[in-house]
């Protein structure tokens, strides 16, 4: 491609590197009511979405009508932006794109359930496009931001789900596929500049896997006669520039497939269950492999692992031996280890990828579901009542969560189809919560850290410089009485050794070059002037240094050089908030960018080419 539209969504900026907002170690929390939206009952806030520096959510007022609300975290700043009339409970699927909110809504005027947009004000909240003209409902859903564009599925006037793409304007919202597009509960799968979806088999009937870059010419059939599950969270994952997903054909049933974006490269990885379907799901990337739940002919639903090959796709751990099923779910990488819950055995497990390093953390956990990672802890929903538990990764540290300012349990309401009602915003955790003495009904509440430590890590990253060397960089805020920062390295996420030390200064951005091997875990140790130490989270680095585009010098002051550009033609500098702050036209081979106008900090440089995109990172001093 030679042209790109819009701003990448914050949600999709860094699929390979995690931006961390965390305190130096776990500290106590207070629970605070943000606003009593419904004084006579519960407002059931959900779909919390950060957009343009504010937090938005859907909530029900005392007239039992759902509207969009915005907050900066206080009662006074929490306001309804509408729409304030229309069909009750028809607002759905908030998504942020180009610093605006987009959602589905029926205002009762006769246009039906259509695509709306908001700039964060009541006056700026209005219908964007009537995709199914007249009283028919287009019911926009499956919003996905990719390649600087907003993709979604909506019903056209023939009653079929059509694939649409939008640049955020009425004229730039157009249909791409005029046959039935099968979506999912949240998002289409994204790989590179394209999204993947299910439509017909190329003849107007049956099913097939398609991909699109948002143009008619770039909308192509990859594999006919399969039904792929790419849109539902946990049913697909990206590893080494390939998309792995559950798909079914007429022979193997539901099994593990892979696609590199070409027809020839879209194929079955392994037929895990011969007489039964393997049903792979809850795919999670960890240590350059994918861990997932599946079954074969001899075992129930257990944890499997794949390196992307058939031979490398194997049963990882038979927790409930034989035909029993441990039912692994909600896999999450935390402090360098993979944690997963087992619904079949009511347990929490962790692993470093080895059999010896796979350990039971806690038993007796009835249907635990992952809620969030915050303040260097894991937060779980526990049981049918959705009481919140927390875990530091140990058995003793996995317990009922107890805020400092209340003795009552904190519960949440989860009947919204996903866990998007837990969102970190301005270093506080927002949720739909109920706790007597704080909120009598389910209202927007937040967890706030008490007794702030001498420093807060805003961002922590590790990137390859070359084989054998990596750059570890971090951004800090609120640093008081800090003496030094020490980067520590580990090959097993257990035993650490000092790799480099940096003396604290008035700067907020720090970095150092450290040795790196085949397995790498890094953490930063902050040492106070009085000798006390505080630890950051642990981050990992992939096994081998990629032959990636390089930028230098890094950190840079005025000029940033880019080498090995391949076929890249344009670039965007993106800050940690997900905002595009500079755009560039680039050439081939090597080019120089003027970054004088950028403020100090860490930036993602997203490079766009004809058939691919790549993101590299740099520090501006």
Interval 535-558 mean pLDDT: 71
Percent of residues, the chain, with pLDDT higher than 90: 43
- Give me the pLDDT at residue 345, please: 93
**Residue 315's pLDDT band (boundaries 50, 70, 90)?**
very high
Cis peptide before 83 (omega within 30 of 0): yes
Q: What is the mean pLDDT of residues 186-195?
A: 88
Q: Give mean pLDDT, residues 11-15.
A: 27
What digits encode the pLDDT tens for the residues 30-72?
899 999 999 989 999 999 999 989 999 999 988 778 899 999 9
Instruction: Please report, rounded to a whole number, the percentage of residues in the chain having pLDDT higher than 70.
Output: 87
Q: Which of 132, 148, 152, 134 is nearest to 8 (CA)?
A: 148
| pLDDT above 50: residue 309 | yes
* pLDDT beyond 50 at 2: no
Q: Are 539 and 461 in contact (CB under 8 A)?
A: yes
| pLDDT value, residue 589 | 60
CA-to-CA distance for 488 and 536, rounded, in angstroms?
Answer: 10
The better pLDDT of the pair 117, 490 is held by: 117
Q: Band the pLDDT of 484: cuts 50, 70, 90.
A: very high
pLDDT at 613: 64
What is the residue-wise DSSP string for 403-430? Answer: -TT-SS--EE--TTSSSTT-EEETTEEE
User: Buried b / exposed e across 249-270, counting CB within 10 Å, b at 16+?
Assistant: beebbbbbbbbbbeeeebebbb
Cβ atoms of residues 451 and 424 within 8 Å: no
Closest to 569 in 3D by CA, of 597, 530, 537, 609: 609
Highest mean pLDDT among 24-28, 498-502, 514-518, 545-549: 498-502
In sequence order, which residues have a C-beta less than 8 Å from that of residue 516 and are 6 or more positions away? 462, 464, 468, 469, 470, 489, 541, 545
Does residue 459 carry a pLDDT above 50?
Answer: yes
Q: What is the mean pLDDT of residues 398-427?
A: 77
Indicate whether 10 pLDDT > 50: no
pLDDT category, 23, cuts 50, 70, 90? very low
pLDDT at 564: 63
Would you state the pLDDT for residue 1? 25
CA 277 to chain centre: 28
| Residue with the larger pLDDT of the pair 117 and 409 | 117
Identify which of 220, 232, 314 has the alpha carbon closest to the alpha carbon of residue 259: 220
Q: Give CA–CA dist 396/361, Å, rounded.
A: 9
> Does 456 or 439 have the greater pLDDT score?
439
Strands of 297-417 (E only): list them.
Answer: 302-306, 314-317, 328-334, 337-342, 347-351, 359-363, 369-374, 377-382, 387-391, 399-400, 411-412
Edge to edge, the sheet with strand 590-594 lists 550-552, 559-563, 590-594
Q: Specify the higher pLDDT residue, 300 or 475.
A: 300
- pLDDT of 19 reads 31
Residue 530 tokens, joined: 């009085």
Is residue 402 over pLDDT 60? yes
Statement: residue 434 has pLDDT above 70: yes
* pLDDT of 16: 27
For residue range 149-175, list pLDDT tens digits in order.
999 999 988 888 899 999 999 999 999
CA–CA gap between residue 117 and residue 103 (Å, rounded): 6
Q: What domains can be seen in the chain, in order of their start residue?
A: 1-8+546-621 (2.60.40.3080), 17-25+453-541 (2.60.40.10)
> Closest Cα to residue 334, out of 533, 538, 579?
538
pLDDT of 471 higher than 80: yes
Which pLDDT score is estimated for 563?
74
pLDDT of residue 104 exceeding 50, the answer is yes
Residues 410-420 have a mean pLDDT of: 67
- The yes-or-no verdict on residue 481 having pLDDT over 60 is yes
For 22-36, 188-202, 305-319, which range has the lowest pLDDT when averaged over its residues? 22-36
Phi/psi for 449 (5° steps) reads -70, 140
Give the whole-angstrom CA distance, residue 426 versus residue 285: 27
pLDDT digits (tens, 9 = 90+) for 212-266: 999 999 999 999 999 888 888 788 999 999 999 999 998 888 999 999 999 999 9
| Total residues belonging to the chain | 621
Identify the bridge partners of residue 482 per DSSP, sorted by sequence position.
Answer: 528
Question: 565's torsion region: left (phi>0), alpha (psi -120 to 50) or beta?
Answer: alpha
pLDDT at 588: 62
Q: Which of 8-17, 345-354, 403-412, 455-464 has the highest mean pLDDT?
A: 345-354
SS3 368: coil
Distance in angstroms (rounded) separating the CA atoms of residues 76 and 64: 22
* 454 vs 268, residue with greater confidence: 268
Between 262 and 374, the higher pLDDT residue: 262
Cα–Cα dist 364/382, whole Å: 10
- Identify the pLDDT of residue 547: 45
pLDDT for residue 4 is more than 60: no
Task: Report yes or no: 376 and 22 within 8 Å, Cβ to Cβ.
Answer: yes
Backbone angles phi, psi at 10, to 5 degrees: -55, -30
pLDDT at residue number 55: 95
- Residues 150-189 as b/e (b if ≥16 CB within 10 A, e otherwise) read bbbbbbbeeeebbbbbbbbeeeebeebbebbbbbbebbbb
Q: What is the pLDDT of residue 159?
A: 84
pLDDT at 154: 92
- With 60 as the cut, is the pLDDT of residue 504 above it? yes
- Of 7-16, 23-32, 295-304, the least confident: 7-16
The string over 117-145, giving b where at least 16 C-beta atoms fall within 10 Å of a residue's C-beta and e elsewhere, is: bbebebeebeebbbbbeeebbbbbbbbbb
Whole-number Cα distances in Å, 352 to 245, 368, 428, 462, 497: 23, 21, 29, 19, 18
């Amino acid at each position: 491609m030679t042209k790109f539209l819009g701003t990448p969504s914050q949600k999709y900026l860094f699929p390979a590197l995690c931006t961390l907002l965390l305190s130096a170690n776990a500290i106590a929390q207070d629970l605070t009511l943000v606003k009593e939206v419904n004084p006579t009952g519960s407002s059931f806030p959900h779909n919390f979405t950060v957009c343009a520096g504010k937090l938005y959510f859907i909530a029900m007022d005392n007239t039992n009508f759902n509207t969009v609300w915005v907050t900066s975290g206080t009662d006074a700043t929490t306001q309804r932006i509408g729409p304030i009339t229309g069909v009750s409970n028809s607002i759905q699927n908030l998504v942020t794109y180009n610093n605006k909110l987009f959602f589905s809504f029926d205002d009762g005027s006769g246009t039906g359930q259509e695509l709306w947009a908001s700039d964060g004000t009541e006056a700026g909240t209005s219908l964007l496009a009537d995709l199914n003209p007249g009283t028919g409902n287009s019911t926009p859903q499956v919003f996905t931001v990719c390649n600087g564009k907003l993709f979604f599925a909506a019903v056209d006037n023939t009653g079929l789900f059509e694939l649409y793409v939008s640049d955020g304007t009425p004229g730039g919202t157009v249909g791409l596929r005029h046959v039935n597009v099968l979506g999912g509960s949240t998002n289409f799968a994204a790989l590179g500049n394209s999204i993947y979806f299910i439509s017909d088999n190329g003849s107007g009937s049956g099913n097939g896997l398609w991909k699109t870059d948002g143009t008619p010419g770039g909308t192509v059939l990859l594999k006919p006669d399969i039904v792929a599950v790419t849109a539902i969270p946990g049913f697909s994952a990206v590893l080494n520039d390939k998309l792995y997903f559950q798909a079914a054909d007429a022979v193997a049933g539901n099994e593990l497939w892979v696609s590199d974006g070409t027809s020839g490269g879209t194929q079955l990885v392994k037929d895990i269950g011969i007489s039964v379907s393997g049903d792979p799901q809850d795919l999670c990337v960890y240590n350059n492999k994918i861990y997932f739940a599946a079954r074969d002919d001899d075992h129930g639903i257990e944890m499997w692992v794949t390196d992307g090959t058939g031979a490398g796709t194997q049963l990882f751990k038979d927790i409930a031996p034989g035909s029993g099923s441990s039912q692994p779910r909600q896999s999450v990488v935390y402090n360098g280890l993979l944690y997963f819950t087992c619904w079949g055995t009511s347990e929490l497990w962790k692993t470093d990828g080895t059999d010896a390093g796979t350990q039971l953390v806690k038993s007796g956990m009835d249907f635990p579901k992952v809620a969030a990672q915050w303040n260097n802890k894991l937060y779980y929903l526990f049981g049918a009542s959705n009481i919140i538990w927390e875990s530091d990764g140990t058995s003793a540290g996995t317990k009922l969560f107890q805020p400092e300012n209340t003795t009552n349990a904190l519960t949440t309401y989860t009947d919204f189809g996903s866990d998007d009602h837990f969102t970190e915003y301005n270093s506080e955790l927002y949720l739909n919560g109920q706790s007597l003495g704080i909120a009598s009904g389910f209202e927007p509440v937040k967890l706030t850290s008490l007794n702030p430590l001498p420093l807060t890590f805003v961002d922590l990253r590790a990137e390859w410089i070359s084989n054998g060397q990596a750059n570890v960089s971090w951004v800090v805020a609120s640093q008081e009485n800090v003496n030094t920062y020490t980067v520590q390295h580990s090959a097993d996420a257990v035993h650490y050794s000092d790799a480099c030390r940096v003396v604290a200064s008035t700067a907020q951005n720090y970095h150092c070059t450290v040795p790196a091997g085949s397995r790498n875990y890094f953490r930063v140790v902050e040492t106070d002037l009085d000798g006390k130490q505080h630890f950051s989270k642990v981050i990992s680095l992939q096994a081998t240094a990629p032959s990636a585009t390089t930028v230098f010098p890094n950190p840079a002051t005025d000029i940033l050089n880019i080498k090995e550009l391949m076929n890249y033609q344009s670039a965007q500098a993106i800050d940690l908030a997900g905002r595009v702050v500079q755009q560039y036209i680039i050439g081939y081979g090597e080019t120089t960018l003027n970054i004088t106008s950028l403020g100090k900090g860490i930036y993602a440089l997203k490079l766009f080419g004809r058939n691919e995109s790549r993101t590299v990172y740099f520090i501006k001093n």
